[in-house]
Amino acid sequence: MDDVPKAAAAVAAVKLDQDDQQVIAPHDNADEEYKRLTDATLPRVKAAFVVLVRNSELYALRSSMRYLEDRFNHKYNYPWIFLNEEPFTEEFRNMTSMMTQAEVHYGLVPQEHWSYPDFIDQEYAAQCREDLAAEDIPYGGSESYRHMCRYQSGFFMLHPLLDDLDYYWRVEPGVKFSCDIDYDPFRLMQERDLKYGFTIALREYKATIPSLWKTTLDFAKSHPQYIYPRTRPDSLLRLVSDDNGWSYNLCHFWSNFEIASVKYMRSEGYQSYFKYLDEAGGFFYERWGDAPVHSIAVALMLKQSDVHWFYDIGYKHDNFEHCPTEEKWLTNSKCYCEPSTSFDYNLGSCTNLFLDVMNKPASSFIVTRPDPEDLPLL
């Protein structure tokens, strides 16, 4: 651990390049922006929903599709991309394609992206799984979960079906969307030059990532050109470290919902980070998840204006739910979720930390507007 102080310092000591010094122009008139964001007649942004899914998850996926189609996509018809490590059945293709008027695409995960690389000791990896399973760590003993996390961390964005996309919206089977989405999140990403968007932020199980931060600091030390300077006021480092980079606070964006830039996820910086982590073996010897990997990369490589909290998109995955709690017209007229169930202000949430880092109230992330009949609720 002797190199940790030096590596942490590397996070802080990076020089600015020309792009870092550019000043982002303020958004133009908000009313004009909202008109564009809600204009379904404009040419679609180059974007799609991307789902890693198995044939056995067909009905849970159809439920997710129904929510998104009803809440948003019936107006915009963004395509769906389904990826699987096994060939999709004819039943799966037929029963998913009938859920949408949009294009649907079915892709196979390359075998080399869902198998052990040569540098992994599979016997040791099996023992590590047994050890974590004995500690009752969620998915601690699962081999397939590790392949999934590795794939979601660094490979899915490289699939040829994403070649023509500027943005993707990751969707999982069995999720719920509880608010009407009357604007185009993809266009918002494009108009504001955003790189990453999320709904839920929470803390990771420490036992699953004991060496992830040390490995990250080693990467930062050896690849300082990819690290956004910690000393800049718009740095995001504080999202993942409470002590200026010495340790990881376990906060991460839950990546089962993320809207992100394909260009960023395919960038030399991000892919170099993933390759470095991959070669360290933590996806198999520990249980590194794609959510902390994505989130740490965002915090180290991007700046505040690159990230957006989709506060007005109600979302539920398993027992974790994001539900807008303000403004009253938003909660009462555009959403059906119960505000008191929102995980945002739970002790395990990192939402308050995000707002503190951004120095903004939650309401500043509201993009949607009240309908005329909602005005009495203001």
Q: Which residues participate in catalysis according to the annotation?
A: 258
Backbone CA torsion sign across 339, 342, 344, 347: positive
Alpha helices in the chain (DSSP H): 4-12, 18-21, 30-37, 58-68, 90-97, 122-134, 143-154, 185-191, 212-222, 262-265, 268-280, 282-285, 290-301, 328-329, 351-358
CA angle 161, 311, 371 (to 5 degrees): 105
DSSP 305-353: GGEEE-TTS-EEETTEEE-----HHIIIIIB-S-GGG-GGGSTTB-HHH
Report d(CA 86, CA 65) in Å as an integer: 21
Could you tell me which residues are beta bridge partners of residue 108?
Answer: 84
For residue 44, what are its two tokens?
Answer: 């679609």
Report d(CA 13, CA 3) in Å as an integer: 15
Rounded to 10 degrees, the C-alpha dihedral 40/41/42/46 comes to: 60
CA distances from 271 to 226, 276, 294 (A): 11, 8, 11
Backbone CA torsion sign across 116, 119, 120, 121: positive
For residue 176, what are its two tokens?
Answer: 């719920």
What spatial distance separates the first Cα and last Cα of the chain, rounded to whole Å? 55
Report d(CA 302, CA 26) in Å as an integer: 18
CA 219 to chain CA centroid, Å, is 21
3-state DSSP assignment of residue 255: coil
Peptide bond just before 204 cis, omega within 30 deg:
no
For residue 181, what are its two tokens?
Answer: 């989405």
For residue 77, what are its two tokens?
Answer: 């018809």
CB-CB contact of 141 with 284 (8 Å)? no
